[in-house]
Structure 1
Amino acid sequence: MILLQAININKYFGAKQILKNVNLTVQAGQKVGLVGVNGAGKSTLLKILTGQLTPDDGEITRATGLTLGYLAQDTGLESERTIYEEMLSVFQPLIEQEQQLHKLEQLMGSEVIKQDTTRYRRIMDQYARLSDDFRNQGGYSYRSFIRGVLQGLEFPEVDDNSPVAVLSGGQKTRLALAKNLLIKPDLLILDEPTNYLDIRALAWLEQYLQSYAGAVLVVSHDRYFLDAVVSTVVELEFGRATTYKTNYSGFIDLKARQQENLLKRYEQQQEEIARAKDFIQRNIVRASTTKRAQSRLKALEKMELIEAPNQQKQVHFSFTIKRPSGRDVLNVSDLSIGYPGVELARNINFAIERGESVAILGPNGIGKSTLLKTIIGQLPPLSGHIRTGTNVSIGYYAQEQEKLDPGKTVLDELWDDYRLMDEKDVRTVLGSFLFRGEDVYKKVSELSGGEKARLSLAKLMLQQANLLILDEPTNHLDILSREMLESALIDYPGTIIFVSHDRYFLNKMATRIIELTPTGTESFLGNYNYYLEKKSSDQHEPGSKHPEKTQLGKQSYLASKEIQRQERKRLKRIEELERLISDTEQDIARLEGELEKPEVTQDYEACLKISEELSAAKANLDAYLEEWVMLTEND
């Protein structure tokens, strides 16, 4: 069944055409990824699909009664309610049903109503129908569902009773995502839903969307996420849409083969045209061959020309160093980080050698960015020591590009830091990062997130530092730019320390992972997939040469044993809860059956007793389900 269809959509902004005869179809239950470079028109298309923009030409058709949820990019939820109240508002019809059930229960317990047998039976019938509908609509589990979604998107970090108004912009965006998930629309349209999610929340969202019964149309630059969630990819390129029935990795392979075949056919045709033109030129004036030449000319004029494959403009750069560092690049010992009166993490110990590419992992709020800022000296350590090696020069990439001056032009932002460069050379560098022509005179404050990221990378490249410290370097970059960054960093001859939530980037770039916790650090030699394997097996290699494992070995062992004990306790409780849920559901069904018996409906005392037992059983079931969701959401 087709839920949503875009037919020959065209959209202009001024004289510039953004969308050209775009066609897109979303079927029931389908998971579709919408991809393309920054500025390709993805968000514009989503706004047209959701009715926020009107196309200049074309038609949007929706299935009758379609329910649609839409999360705009970086748009947070605004509300005067608390977090929990805002989530409860999704289930207002169920709350009203619940209140109606309580009223009916009170009526059934009324002595006056009991004496009116006809009225009493009518109320009983109404109660039975409403109770069945309430159960079928999820009335006994919606509170647990709210808890599960808030925990999955990591809202236990704040009090449920906190006002929405006090949340940060990123938290409001996460809350808007949570509300859309709770609504469970037929079609969920998400524009960059992975923004502001750490790795654990990303994994939870992937699992949720994989099992989501409705359809999903998602824009994302997270390749790992796209591979896990979508089965169809629609690419917007040069204003046109092309559909591929595969996940993101399959789309890349298919497109590469298509481009290769198209280029081959184009080159063959160009050779054929060149031969024909040469023959025509040599034979058109000769009487004996002029007819053959004219025939060739007619065939050439009728030939359906193959267009040369279009190539997206890509950033193109490389990182070099002025001089190499010593073998020992960085040594961190007994470090505590945070702010005056607020310690985020302590017992941080690690050493980094030349040529390593080290990823710092940990949940949101643990202090990853704070650690990087402490290493570069932007923040003082609360205690402990940081020692850099011989000839180490540091280049730092800030997560939000806060080092850029919003009042400067793009040209001045770069040129002011490198005054000895000729303007031509500065422009050449900026051109490599897609700042061309009049773009170099744009104010930094007018730049998009992706443009600011590219400008920051341009400045970083010119530093020629031998230690790069990168805080979320792929944020705001489209997929092509991320791939170019990966290529540049892989060829980089220096040392890299980075923080990233981009698991594809992590997997490709990391040669070692350092996990940051409130009480210390632990090293994992290998990339992100290897780290996941080691974490899941809980069998870390003994005898590590890294000092942090030596110093924290005992603590790690004791912590591991405690984790194992807690895990056994958790699994035992889950098993017990599943038995209790099953037994309670049987009790509820039995009690509801008892209430329908004629001898019970005519016995006030018996009816009241069973109704009280039924209410208690439903309350118990709600509590069991809520605890079960909390214990199983990380499985």
Structure 2
Amino acid sequence: MILLQANQVARHFGADTLFKHIHLEIQDRSRIALVGRNGAGKSTLLKIIAGIDEPDEGSISKIKQLTIGYLDQHTGFQSEKPIWEEMLTAYDGLRAMEARLRELEYQIGQPEQIADNDNYQRLLTEYDQLQHDFNEQNGYGYEAEMKAVLNGFQFDESFYLRPVNSLSGGQKTRLALAKLLLESPDLLILDEPTNHLDIETLAWLENYLQNYRGSLLIVSHDRYFLDKIVTEVYDLSRQKMTHYKGNYTRYLELKEEQLAQDWKAFEKQQTEINKLEDFVARNLVRASTTKRAQSRRKQLEKIDRLDKPVGDEKSARFLFGIERESGNVVLHLEAGAIGYDQTILSEPVNLDIRKREAIALVGPNGVGKSTLLKSIIKEIPFIKGDAQLGTNVSIGYYDQEQANLRSNKTVLQELWDEHPTTPERDIRSVLGSFLFSGEDVEKTVPLLSGGEKARLALAKLSMNKENFLVLDEPTNHLDIDSKEVLEHALIEFNGTILFVSHDRYFINRIATKIVELSATGSKLYLGDYDYYLEKKLEEAELAALQAAESNNLSKTAELATSRNQFQQSKDEQRAIRSLTRKIEQLESQLLTIESQIETIQVDMSNPDYFEDHQKLLTLQRQLNELEQEQETLLEEWETLSLELENKQT
């Protein structure tokens, strides 16, 4: 069932058009991502869909009594109430039902009501219906649900009596999202819901949204999050909207295929146009061929000319170079302690970083990840221990708060003043590679957006050519395309990287090792983020087994059996994860082949090829090869699916 439709929606700013002819359809239990560059108009469109703003053109149609919940990425949650009391307002309807049930129970128990049979039956009927509705809406479990959601967003019982207005900005944003989830609207519209969330909370939110009963419309730059949640993508680009089926990774594949098909159709039409124009030019003035030339000219006039295909808008492009190589040992820290004013956040912290390693620092908010980076660069002293740098190590630091961008200088001056001997042309060239061109370089720093400041900070970092990059949340404020450019630059970087990030997709692409930071110190994992998750799962299973052993369940034979079962379970889970990944890869390959087969079949039905036997033979051969490959992959898919089903049962 269609819940909401955007029809021919447009937004104008004076003579400029942000977007136009927008069509978007949200059905019951839709899982939709809205993607596009910063500035494309995603947040503006969300506000129009949510009914906060009116469109300049077009309309939003929706079913009656549709409830919509909207989370602004800059939400400011204000309330004088304690957190628990504020969250209870999400259940005002249920609590009113609960009060009426208590009232009815009292009335039903009164002798005068029992004596009046008609009125007594009316009260019983109302009570039965109300109790059914109350139970259907989780009336007997809403407090447990509220506790679970608050706990998922890192608000334990110690927070319940704290006034909402005493919280930090990030905590208020998390609380606003928690309340929205508790209200459970039919359509949940989320603008950057992953901001201010650590990895543990992100994983919890993903699981919650996967089981959400309503529909979801999400704007997010977290590609890992989108891949887990969404099943369709609307791409807002160059004022237009394009719809794709599948998660974010599938959207990228389909978009690339569509661009290739558009180029093919455009080049084919251009060839046809060039032939017609050439014929007209050569034959129009000759009396014997004038009529034929005029006929071809009419054909030209009737052609609905395709626009030249364009890929994405202009992308940043840059690399991080190094001025000199470091030694093999880059940094060593043993039994360190980090914190503020002698308050220890984490201890003991051990790091042994070698040349060309890329190490991701992960852990919950508040455990000291940024503090550790600032201690390494000597901005905050270690409470215990000290980080020893290796030979020729030079540190380039990226601050997530861009504290080094507090001047009133222009963008051009910000770089040029630090590199006064570099020609202006070269400075402008570097800025151009970070998408600062023309009048953009004359903007003053305070007038820059978050994304522009991030790109300027990265431009400064690239100019310094340090061999050890220490990066604190480098993907904050960057759109997805800029993140991918940054990933490429860091993968190509010939030095060493230590970074903090909540972007799990980014961590997977960059990290060669993971260091988990907690109150009890650091722990090293030799792999990417997916490997880290697997090891954490194994650790949790082993901890559960050890807990069982400590509860006197440990006869020798039982222990041996338990350990064998644990090892067997671990092996089976690893096999299941491996099979699942292989099946997902096969499904992606099958979708690609299916698309290629459809394209060839369309080409073979083209009248232009009916007389071109050689072309038809080539297409048929390609079709046969694809169908054979499809059949092979299907057989493999069936075998693996059956194997997975057997393992899961």
TM-score range, shorter chain: 0.7 to 0.9
Q: Which moved more, 1:421-430 or 1:119-128?
A: 119-128
Q: 1:566 and 1:101, CA in 2 relative to 1: closer, same or farther beyond 3 A?
A: farther
CA distance in structure 2 between the aligned counterparts of 1:362 and 1:265, rounded to whole angstroms: 50
Change (3 A) 1:196 1:282: same
- What amino acid does structure 2 have at the position aligned with 1:480? D
In structure 2, C-alpha distance between the alignment counterparts of 1:423 and 1:46, rounded to whole Å? 41
Q: Corresponding residue for 2:354?
A: 353
TM normalised by structure 2 equals 0.81
Aligned pairs (5 A) from 1:198-597: 198-311=198-311, 312-538=313-539, 564-565=546-547
Distance across 2 between alignment mates of 1:218 and 1:82? 29
Q: What is aligned with 2:84?
A: 84
In 2, the alpha carbon distance for the partners of 1:62 and 1:451 equals 37
Corresponding residue for residue 171 of structure 1? 171
SS at match of 1:521: strand
Q: Which amino acid in 2 is paired with 1:508?
A: R
Q: Tell me the distance in 1 between the aligned counterparts of 2:113 and 2:52.
A: 55
Bigger RCO of structures 1 and 2 (CA < 8 A, at least 6 apart): 1
> How has the CA–CA distance of structure 1 residues 188 and 422 changed in structure 2, closer, same or farther, with 3 Å as cutoff?
same
Provide closer, same or farther for how the CA distance between residues 31 and 349 of structure 1 changes in structure 2, counting only shifts above 3 A.
same
Q: Kindly indicate whether the alpha-carbon contact (under 8 Å) linking 1:199 and 1:501 is maintained by their aligned counterparts in 2.
A: yes
Equivalences for residues 100-111 of structure 1 within 5 A: 100-106=100-106
8 Å CA contact retained: 1:234, 1:242: yes
Letter in 1 for 2:222: D
Which whole-Å CA distance do the structure 2 matches of 1:404 and 1:175 have between them?
Answer: 30
1:385 alignment partner, SS class: coil
User: CA-to-partner distance for each residue in 1:465-510, whole Å, 9 max, x for gaps?
Assistant: 1011111111111111111111111111111111111111111111
Corresponding residue for residue 44 of structure 1: 44
Counterparts of 2:282 and 2:364, CA distance in 1: 73
How far did residue 431 of structure 1 move? 1.5
Given that 1:113 and 1:120 are in contact with CA atoms closer than 8 Å, whether structure 2 keeps it comes out as no
Structure 1 residues 604-623: aligned runs within 5 Å: none
**Contact 2:406 / 2:445 at 8 angstroms: preserved in 1?**
yes
Following superposition, the deviation at residue 27 of structure 1 comes to 0.6
Assess, with a 3 A threshold, how the Cα gap between structure 1 residues 291 and 304 changes in structure 2: closer, same or farther: same
- Number of the residue aligned with 2:53: 53
| CA deviation string 1:60-79 (max 9, x = no partner) | 11111101100011213111
Encode CA deviations 1:530-557: one digit per residue, 9 max, x unaligned. 11112212399xxxxxxxxxxxxxxxxx
Cα pair 2:342 2:383 within 8 Å, conserved:
no
Letter paired with 1:250? R
Q: In the comparison of the two structures, how many residue pairs are matched?
A: 549
Letter in 2 for 1:446: L
Q: How far did residue 191 of structure 1 move?
A: 0.6
What amino acid maps onto 2:379 in structure 1? Q
Q: 1:518 to 1:183 in 2, by over 3 A?
A: same
| Partner in structure 1 of residue 616 of structure 2 | none
Gaps of 5+ in 2: 552-649
Which amino acid letter does the alignment assign opposite residue 527 of structure 1? D
CA distance in 1, matches of 2:265, 2:235: 22
Matching residue's letter, 1:159: F
Q: CA deviation at 1:526?
A: 1.2
> Cα RMSD between the aligned structures?
2.3
Q: More deviation in 452-461 or 156-165?
A: 156-165
Q: Does the CA contact (< 8 Å) of 1:76 and 1:175 recur in 2?
A: no
Q: Residues 123 and 283 from structure 1, CA distance in 2 versus in 1: closer, same or farther, beyond 3 angstroms?
A: closer
Compute the displacement of 1:114 (Å). Answer: 8.1
What percent identity do the matched residue pairs reach? Answer: 52
* Alpha-carbon spacing, 1:124–1:23, altered in 2? closer, same or farther (3 Å): closer
Tell whether 2:195 aligns with 1:195. yes
The reply to whether residue 74 of structure 1 matches residue 69 of structure 2 is no
Q: TM-score, normalised by structure 1?
A: 0.82
Residue matched to 1:577: none
Task: List alignment gaps of at least 5 residues for structure 1.
Answer: 541-559, 570-635
3-state secondary structure, aligned to 2:332: strand
What is the CA-CA distance between 1:125 and the residue it aligns to?
5.3
Instruction: Name the CA shift for 1:276/1:101 in 2 (closer, same or farther; >3 Å).
Output: closer
Give the Cα–Cα distance (whole angstroms) in 1 for the partners of residues 547 and 3 of structure 2: 48
Check 1:529–1:480 CA distance in 2 against 1; reply closer, same or farther (3 A cut).
same
Letter in 2 for 1:393: S
Distance, in Å, in 2 between the alignment partners of 1:127 and 1:282 is 90
Structure-2 residue corresponding to 1:181: 181
